[in-house]
Amino acid sequence: MNKSVRCLADGRRITYYDDGGRPRPRTAMDTRDLPEAAAVSEIRCDPLTGERVVIAAHRQSRTYKPTAELCPLCPSTPGRPTEVPEAEYDVVVFDNRFPAFSGAIGHTDVVCFTSDHHSSFSQLDPRRVHTVLEALADRTAELSAREGVEVVFPFENRGEEIGVTLHHPHGQIYAYPFVPPRTARFLDEVRVYRDKHSRHLLADVLAMELADRRRVVVEGRHWTAFVPPAAKWPVHVLVVPHRQIADLTELSTAQREDFAEVYLSVLRRCDALFHRPLPYVAGWHQAPVHRDRDLAWLHLELFSIRRAEDKLKYLAGSESAMAVWINDTTPERIAERLRASL
Protein backbone atom coordinates (compact mmCIF):
# COMPACT_ATOMS: atom_id res chain seq x y z
CA MET A 1 0.00 0.00 0.00
CA ASN A 2 1.17 3.52 -0.83
CA LYS A 3 -0.14 6.47 1.19
CA SER A 4 -0.31 10.13 0.13
CA VAL A 5 -1.71 12.92 2.32
CA ARG A 6 -3.03 16.17 0.83
CA CYS A 7 -5.43 19.01 1.78
CA LEU A 8 -8.76 20.04 0.30
CA ALA A 9 -9.71 23.65 -0.43
CA ASP A 10 -11.35 24.20 2.96
CA GLY A 11 -8.47 22.75 4.95
CA ARG A 12 -9.83 19.25 5.37
CA ARG A 13 -7.40 16.36 5.03
CA ILE A 14 -7.57 13.78 2.22
CA THR A 15 -5.47 10.60 2.12
CA TYR A 16 -4.96 8.36 -0.90
CA TYR A 17 -4.25 4.67 -0.29
CA ASP A 18 -3.04 3.04 -3.48
CA ASP A 19 -2.83 -0.68 -4.10
CA GLY A 20 0.68 -2.10 -3.77
CA GLY A 21 3.28 -1.64 -6.46
CA ARG A 22 4.83 1.51 -7.86
CA PRO A 23 3.88 4.69 -5.94
CA ARG A 24 1.67 7.10 -7.89
CA PRO A 25 2.11 10.86 -7.54
CA ARG A 26 -0.94 12.55 -6.01
CA THR A 27 -0.49 16.23 -6.86
CA ALA A 28 -3.93 17.38 -8.10
CA MET A 29 -5.20 20.49 -6.31
CA ASP A 30 -8.74 21.12 -5.08
CA THR A 31 -9.84 24.09 -7.21
CA ARG A 32 -13.18 24.70 -5.48
CA ASP A 33 -13.90 27.93 -3.62
CA LEU A 34 -15.02 26.50 -0.28
CA PRO A 35 -15.45 28.30 3.04
CA GLU A 36 -13.25 27.03 5.86
CA ALA A 37 -14.76 23.99 7.53
CA ALA A 38 -16.53 25.14 10.71
CA ALA A 39 -19.06 22.44 11.63
CA VAL A 40 -19.64 21.98 15.37
CA SER A 41 -21.38 19.08 17.11
CA GLU A 42 -22.46 18.70 20.72
CA ILE A 43 -23.35 15.74 22.92
CA ARG A 44 -26.34 15.81 25.23
CA CYS A 45 -27.26 13.23 27.84
CA ASP A 46 -30.85 12.04 28.25
CA PRO A 47 -31.52 12.52 31.99
CA LEU A 48 -34.13 9.73 31.97
CA THR A 49 -31.95 6.97 30.48
CA GLY A 50 -28.38 8.21 30.67
CA GLU A 51 -28.06 7.74 26.89
CA ARG A 52 -25.93 10.14 24.88
CA VAL A 53 -27.38 11.89 21.83
CA VAL A 54 -25.18 13.63 19.26
CA ILE A 55 -26.60 16.97 18.07
CA ALA A 56 -25.25 17.80 14.61
CA ALA A 57 -27.69 20.30 13.13
CA HIS A 58 -25.32 21.25 10.29
CA ARG A 59 -25.94 17.81 8.71
CA GLN A 60 -29.46 18.89 7.72
CA SER A 61 -27.94 20.58 4.64
CA ARG A 62 -25.72 17.67 3.54
CA THR A 63 -25.75 16.41 -0.05
CA TYR A 64 -28.88 14.35 -0.73
CA LYS A 65 -29.17 11.72 -3.48
CA PRO A 66 -27.32 13.43 -6.33
CA THR A 67 -27.32 11.83 -9.77
CA ALA A 68 -24.26 9.86 -10.84
CA GLU A 69 -23.12 12.83 -12.94
CA LEU A 70 -23.07 15.04 -9.83
CA CYS A 71 -21.65 12.52 -7.36
CA PRO A 72 -19.19 14.28 -5.00
CA LEU A 73 -17.28 11.04 -4.34
CA CYS A 74 -16.30 10.34 -7.94
CA PRO A 75 -12.91 11.56 -9.19
CA SER A 76 -12.72 15.13 -10.43
CA THR A 77 -13.03 15.78 -14.15
CA PRO A 78 -12.25 18.94 -16.16
CA GLY A 79 -14.83 21.53 -15.21
CA ARG A 80 -16.35 19.42 -12.43
CA PRO A 81 -14.26 19.33 -9.26
CA THR A 82 -15.42 16.96 -6.52
CA GLU A 83 -14.32 15.93 -3.02
CA VAL A 84 -11.50 13.94 -4.68
CA PRO A 85 -9.20 16.18 -6.78
CA GLU A 86 -7.42 13.31 -8.57
CA ALA A 87 -8.68 11.90 -11.88
CA GLU A 88 -8.64 8.37 -10.44
CA TYR A 89 -7.95 6.59 -7.18
CA ASP A 90 -7.92 3.18 -5.49
CA VAL A 91 -9.04 3.92 -1.91
CA VAL A 92 -9.39 7.42 -0.51
CA VAL A 93 -10.23 8.75 2.97
CA PHE A 94 -11.11 12.35 3.77
CA ASP A 95 -12.62 14.42 6.56
CA ASN A 96 -16.40 14.43 6.20
CA ARG A 97 -17.69 17.81 5.03
CA PHE A 98 -20.89 17.22 7.05
CA PRO A 99 -19.53 15.32 10.06
CA ALA A 100 -21.56 13.72 12.83
CA PHE A 101 -18.66 14.46 15.17
CA SER A 102 -16.75 17.71 14.75
CA GLY A 103 -14.93 20.46 16.54
CA ALA A 104 -13.29 19.10 19.67
CA ILE A 105 -15.76 16.21 19.85
CA GLY A 106 -14.55 13.12 18.02
CA HIS A 107 -14.05 12.90 14.26
CA THR A 108 -15.78 11.60 11.12
CA ASP A 109 -14.08 10.23 7.97
CA VAL A 110 -15.50 9.25 4.59
CA VAL A 111 -13.91 6.14 3.02
CA CYS A 112 -14.33 5.51 -0.72
CA PHE A 113 -13.57 1.90 -1.70
CA THR A 114 -13.23 2.49 -5.44
CA SER A 115 -13.49 5.30 -7.98
CA ASP A 116 -16.09 3.27 -9.93
CA HIS A 117 -19.44 4.83 -9.06
CA HIS A 118 -21.42 1.80 -10.26
CA SER A 119 -19.45 -0.83 -8.37
CA SER A 120 -19.93 -2.19 -4.84
CA PHE A 121 -17.82 -3.71 -2.07
CA SER A 122 -18.92 -7.18 -3.19
CA GLN A 123 -17.39 -6.52 -6.62
CA LEU A 124 -13.96 -5.56 -5.31
CA ASP A 125 -11.10 -7.96 -5.87
CA PRO A 126 -9.25 -9.40 -2.84
CA ARG A 127 -6.29 -7.11 -3.42
CA ARG A 128 -8.51 -4.03 -3.10
CA VAL A 129 -10.14 -5.41 0.06
CA HIS A 130 -6.60 -5.76 1.45
CA THR A 131 -5.97 -2.07 0.69
CA VAL A 132 -9.26 -1.08 2.34
CA LEU A 133 -8.24 -3.00 5.48
CA GLU A 134 -4.85 -1.29 5.51
CA ALA A 135 -6.52 2.10 5.15
CA LEU A 136 -8.94 1.35 8.00
CA ALA A 137 -6.09 0.11 10.19
CA ASP A 138 -4.03 3.21 9.44
CA ARG A 139 -6.92 5.52 10.31
CA THR A 140 -7.69 3.48 13.44
CA ALA A 141 -4.12 4.02 14.63
CA GLU A 142 -4.14 7.75 13.84
CA LEU A 143 -7.56 8.45 15.35
CA SER A 144 -6.79 6.37 18.45
CA ALA A 145 -3.83 8.66 19.12
CA ARG A 146 -6.07 11.75 19.21
CA GLU A 147 -6.96 13.24 22.55
CA GLY A 148 -10.50 12.45 23.62
CA VAL A 149 -11.13 9.53 21.23
CA GLU A 150 -12.45 6.42 23.01
CA VAL A 151 -13.66 4.08 20.22
CA VAL A 152 -13.00 3.99 16.46
CA PHE A 153 -15.88 2.53 14.44
CA PRO A 154 -15.46 1.92 10.66
CA PHE A 155 -18.70 0.99 8.91
CA GLU A 156 -20.53 0.88 5.60
CA ASN A 157 -24.17 1.78 5.02
CA ARG A 158 -25.28 0.34 1.68
CA GLY A 159 -28.61 0.83 -0.06
CA GLU A 160 -31.27 3.53 -0.23
CA GLU A 161 -33.55 1.45 1.99
CA ILE A 162 -30.98 1.77 4.78
CA GLY A 163 -30.95 5.56 4.35
CA VAL A 164 -27.92 6.02 2.11
CA THR A 165 -27.98 9.39 0.35
CA LEU A 166 -24.81 8.92 -1.75
CA HIS A 167 -24.76 5.81 -3.91
CA HIS A 168 -21.03 5.74 -4.61
CA PRO A 169 -19.43 2.72 -2.83
CA HIS A 170 -18.23 4.20 0.44
CA GLY A 171 -18.24 3.90 4.20
CA GLN A 172 -17.41 6.09 7.16
CA ILE A 173 -15.26 6.03 10.27
CA TYR A 174 -16.63 7.49 13.49
CA ALA A 175 -14.18 8.32 16.27
CA TYR A 176 -16.43 8.41 19.33
CA PRO A 177 -15.49 10.58 22.32
CA PHE A 178 -17.19 8.00 24.56
CA VAL A 179 -17.63 4.22 24.64
CA PRO A 180 -20.92 3.48 22.78
CA PRO A 181 -23.58 1.48 24.67
CA ARG A 182 -23.25 -1.58 22.41
CA THR A 183 -19.50 -1.81 23.01
CA ALA A 184 -19.89 -1.30 26.75
CA ARG A 185 -22.57 -4.00 26.97
CA PHE A 186 -20.41 -6.50 25.05
CA LEU A 187 -17.42 -5.85 27.31
CA ASP A 188 -19.57 -6.23 30.43
CA GLU A 189 -20.85 -9.62 29.24
CA VAL A 190 -17.32 -10.77 28.39
CA ARG A 191 -16.05 -9.67 31.81
CA VAL A 192 -18.76 -11.55 33.70
CA TYR A 193 -18.22 -14.69 31.59
CA ARG A 194 -14.43 -14.59 32.03
CA ASP A 195 -14.73 -14.17 35.78
CA LYS A 196 -17.00 -17.21 35.93
CA HIS A 197 -15.38 -19.52 33.36
CA SER A 198 -11.81 -18.17 32.89
CA ARG A 199 -12.40 -18.15 29.14
CA HIS A 200 -13.40 -15.56 26.55
CA LEU A 201 -17.10 -15.46 25.72
CA LEU A 202 -16.66 -14.96 21.97
CA ALA A 203 -14.08 -17.76 21.80
CA ASP A 204 -16.63 -20.16 23.27
CA VAL A 205 -19.43 -18.86 21.04
CA LEU A 206 -17.20 -19.36 17.98
CA ALA A 207 -16.27 -22.88 19.11
CA MET A 208 -19.95 -23.68 19.65
CA GLU A 209 -20.88 -22.44 16.17
CA LEU A 210 -18.08 -24.43 14.52
CA ALA A 211 -19.17 -27.56 16.37
CA ASP A 212 -22.89 -27.07 15.66
CA ARG A 213 -22.44 -25.78 12.07
CA ARG A 214 -26.15 -25.05 11.48
CA ARG A 215 -25.52 -21.30 11.56
CA VAL A 216 -22.10 -21.24 9.83
CA VAL A 217 -22.21 -19.45 6.47
CA VAL A 218 -18.54 -19.40 5.37
CA GLU A 219 -15.47 -20.83 7.09
CA GLY A 220 -11.93 -19.75 6.18
CA ARG A 221 -8.46 -20.45 7.53
CA HIS A 222 -8.52 -17.47 9.90
CA TRP A 223 -12.16 -16.28 9.93
CA THR A 224 -15.63 -17.76 10.24
CA ALA A 225 -18.88 -16.06 9.22
CA PHE A 226 -21.96 -17.24 11.09
CA VAL A 227 -25.46 -16.08 11.96
CA PRO A 228 -25.62 -15.21 15.68
CA PRO A 229 -27.77 -17.66 17.66
CA ALA A 230 -30.13 -14.84 18.71
CA ALA A 231 -30.11 -12.92 15.41
CA LYS A 232 -32.12 -9.68 15.56
CA TRP A 233 -32.37 -9.02 11.84
CA PRO A 234 -33.79 -11.00 8.88
CA VAL A 235 -30.22 -11.15 7.53
CA HIS A 236 -27.59 -11.02 10.27
CA VAL A 237 -23.99 -12.26 10.10
CA LEU A 238 -20.91 -12.01 12.32
CA VAL A 239 -17.46 -12.40 10.74
CA VAL A 240 -15.07 -13.40 13.53
CA PRO A 241 -11.31 -14.07 13.49
CA HIS A 242 -10.21 -17.36 15.03
CA ARG A 243 -7.61 -15.58 17.16
CA GLN A 244 -8.38 -12.79 19.64
CA ILE A 245 -7.13 -9.40 18.49
CA ALA A 246 -8.15 -5.97 19.72
CA ASP A 247 -8.51 -3.97 16.53
CA LEU A 248 -7.67 -3.71 12.84
CA THR A 249 -4.10 -2.58 13.51
CA GLU A 250 -3.27 -6.08 14.78
CA LEU A 251 -4.31 -7.99 11.65
CA SER A 252 -1.60 -10.05 9.99
CA THR A 253 -1.19 -10.26 6.22
CA ALA A 254 -2.61 -13.80 6.26
CA GLN A 255 -5.66 -12.64 8.22
CA ARG A 256 -6.29 -9.78 5.79
CA GLU A 257 -6.07 -12.09 2.80
CA ASP A 258 -8.41 -14.66 4.34
CA PHE A 259 -10.88 -12.00 5.45
CA ALA A 260 -11.14 -10.78 1.86
CA GLU A 261 -12.09 -14.27 0.66
CA VAL A 262 -14.58 -14.93 3.47
CA TYR A 263 -16.24 -11.51 3.45
CA LEU A 264 -16.57 -11.29 -0.33
CA SER A 265 -18.25 -14.70 -0.25
CA VAL A 266 -20.67 -13.44 2.41
CA LEU A 267 -21.50 -10.28 0.42
CA ARG A 268 -22.06 -12.18 -2.82
CA ARG A 269 -24.37 -14.61 -1.02
CA CYS A 270 -26.26 -11.65 0.42
CA ASP A 271 -26.78 -10.12 -3.01
CA ALA A 272 -27.90 -13.49 -4.41
CA LEU A 273 -30.36 -14.08 -1.57
CA PHE A 274 -33.19 -12.00 -3.06
CA HIS A 275 -31.71 -11.69 -6.57
CA ARG A 276 -31.02 -7.99 -6.04
CA PRO A 277 -28.42 -5.88 -4.18
CA LEU A 278 -29.03 -6.29 -0.47
CA PRO A 279 -29.25 -3.12 1.64
CA TYR A 280 -27.10 -3.56 4.72
CA VAL A 281 -25.06 -2.03 7.50
CA ALA A 282 -21.64 -3.58 8.12
CA GLY A 283 -19.47 -2.34 10.97
CA TRP A 284 -16.24 -3.23 12.76
CA HIS A 285 -16.48 -3.74 16.51
CA GLN A 286 -13.07 -2.71 17.85
CA ALA A 287 -11.54 -2.40 21.31
CA PRO A 288 -11.85 0.87 23.20
CA VAL A 289 -8.70 2.95 23.01
CA HIS A 290 -8.06 3.35 26.72
CA ARG A 291 -9.68 0.44 28.56
CA ASP A 292 -10.69 -3.23 28.43
CA ARG A 293 -8.53 -4.06 25.43
CA ASP A 294 -7.90 -7.49 26.96
CA LEU A 295 -11.65 -8.15 26.85
CA ALA A 296 -12.24 -7.00 23.27
CA TRP A 297 -12.30 -9.31 20.25
CA LEU A 298 -12.36 -7.63 16.85
CA HIS A 299 -15.26 -8.73 14.65
CA LEU A 300 -17.45 -7.43 11.85
CA GLU A 301 -21.24 -7.39 12.06
CA LEU A 302 -23.49 -7.20 8.98
CA PHE A 303 -27.26 -6.92 9.05
CA SER A 304 -30.06 -6.03 6.67
CA ILE A 305 -33.65 -4.84 7.02
CA ARG A 306 -34.77 -6.80 3.94
CA ARG A 307 -36.85 -9.82 5.04
CA ALA A 308 -38.18 -10.87 1.62
CA GLU A 309 -37.73 -9.89 -1.99
CA ASP A 310 -40.53 -7.32 -1.70
CA LYS A 311 -40.62 -6.70 2.07
CA LEU A 312 -38.62 -4.70 4.60
CA LYS A 313 -38.42 -5.07 8.36
CA TYR A 314 -39.38 -1.83 10.07
CA LEU A 315 -38.37 -1.08 13.64
CA ALA A 316 -41.80 -0.56 15.14
CA GLY A 317 -43.09 -0.28 18.71
CA SER A 318 -41.16 -3.04 20.48
CA GLU A 319 -37.85 -2.43 18.73
CA SER A 320 -37.91 1.37 18.57
CA ALA A 321 -39.56 2.12 21.90
CA MET A 322 -38.37 -0.75 24.11
CA ALA A 323 -35.25 -2.09 22.29
CA VAL A 324 -36.75 -5.59 22.27
CA TRP A 325 -36.24 -7.19 18.86
CA ILE A 326 -38.75 -9.57 17.27
CA ASN A 327 -37.38 -11.60 14.36
CA ASP A 328 -39.72 -13.09 11.75
CA THR A 329 -37.37 -15.96 10.91
CA THR A 330 -34.89 -18.21 12.69
CA PRO A 331 -31.09 -17.85 12.72
CA GLU A 332 -30.79 -21.41 11.37
CA ARG A 333 -33.04 -20.56 8.42
CA ILE A 334 -31.09 -17.37 7.69
CA ALA A 335 -27.82 -19.32 7.54
CA GLU A 336 -29.35 -22.10 5.43
CA ARG A 337 -30.61 -19.63 2.86
CA LEU A 338 -27.27 -17.79 2.69
CA ARG A 339 -25.35 -21.04 2.19
CA ALA A 340 -27.71 -22.06 -0.60
CA SER A 341 -27.83 -18.67 -2.35
CA LEU A 342 -24.68 -19.31 -4.45
Is 247 within 8 Å of 140 (Cβ atoms)? yes
Whole-Å CA distances, 128 to 123, 132, 187, 259: 10, 6, 32, 12
Co-location of 156 and 186 in the same domain = no
End-to-end CA distance of the chain: 32
Tally of domains within the chain: 2
The confidence score (pLDDT) of residue 103 equals 75
Q: Which residues fall within 8 angstroms of residue 289, CB to CB, at 6 or more apart?
A: 144, 149, 150, 151, 152
298/260 same-domain check: yes
Residue where a domain terminates, one of 178, 199, 218: 178
Q: Is the pLDDT of residue 112 over 90?
A: yes
Average pLDDT over residues 98-105: 88
117 is in an annotated binding site: yes
Residue 186: is its pLDDT beyond 80? yes
Picking from 5, 3, 68, 14, the residue whose alpha carbon sits closest to that of residue 37 is 14
Q: What is the pLDDT of residue 75?
A: 98
Q: What is the dihedral of CA 313, 317, 319, 322, to 10 degrees?
A: 180
Dihedral-angle region of residue 79 (phi above 0 means left; psi in -120 to 50 means alpha; beta otherwise): left
Does position 20 have pLDDT exceeding 90, yes or no? no
Indicate if the pLDDT at residue 38 is higher than 90: no
Are 13 and 75 members of one domain? yes
Residues 248 and 142 in one domain: no
Ranges 31-45, 147-161, 174-188, 317-331: which has the least confidence: 31-45
Q: What is the mean pLDDT of the chain?
A: 96
169 and 220 belong to one structural domain = no
Query: Distances in Å between the alpha carbon of 155 and those of 21, 264, 279, 339?
Result: 27, 16, 13, 24
pLDDT of residue 127: 96
**Geometric angle at alpha carbon 98, from 132 and 131, rounded to 5°:** 5
pLDDT at position 289, please? 98
* Greater pLDDT, 242 or 105: 242
218-233 pLDDT per residue, tens: 999 999 999 999 999 9
Q: What is the pLDDT of residue 62?
A: 86
Which domain-ending residue is among 135, 155, 178? 178
Choosing from 170, 222, 236, 299, which is the catalytic residue? 170
Active site residue 118: no
Q: Are residues 219 and 205 in the same domain?
A: yes
46 and 195: one domain?
Answer: no
What's the confidence (pLDDT) of residue 198? Answer: 98
Residue 22: which pLDDT band, with cuts at 50, 70 and 90?
confident
Q: What confidence category does residue 61 fall into, taking pLDDT thresholds of 50, 70 and 90?
A: confident
Does 45 show up as a binding residue in the annotation? no
Q: Are residues 132 and 33 in the same domain?
A: yes
- Provide the pLDDT for residue 309: 94
Q: Is the pLDDT of residue 9 over 80?
A: yes
Closest CA to 193 of 178, 208, 174: 208
Contact assessment for residue 81 and residue 32, using Cβ atoms and an 8 Å cutoff: yes
Q: Could you tell me how far CA 67 lies from the centroid of its own chain?
A: 24
Q: Is 71 annotated as a binding residue?
A: yes
Where is pLDDT greater, at 37 or 271? 271
Nearest-angstrom CA–CA distance, 222 and 316: 38
Q: Are residues 103 and 248 located together in one domain of the fold?
A: no
Q: Write out the residue range of the structural domain in which residue 82 sits.
A: 2-178
How does residue 212 score in pLDDT terms, banded at 50, 70 and 90?
A: very high
Tell which of 178, 209, 239 closes a domain. 178
Spatial neighbors of 304 by CB under 8 A, at least 6 apart, are 233, 234, 235, 236, 270, 278, 279, 280, 281
Give me the pLDDT at residue 21, please: 76
CATH number of the domain bearing residue 78: 3.30.428.10
Mean pLDDT, range 165-192, rounded to an integer: 97
Q: Kindly tell me if the per-residue pLDDT of 43 is higher than 90.
A: yes
pLDDT at res. 166: 95
Mean pLDDT across the stretch 276-302? 98
The pLDDT assigned to 60 comes to 87
Write down the pLDDT at residue 267: 98
In single-letter form, the type of residue at position 308 comes to: A
The span from the CA of 118 to the CA of 272, in Å, is 18
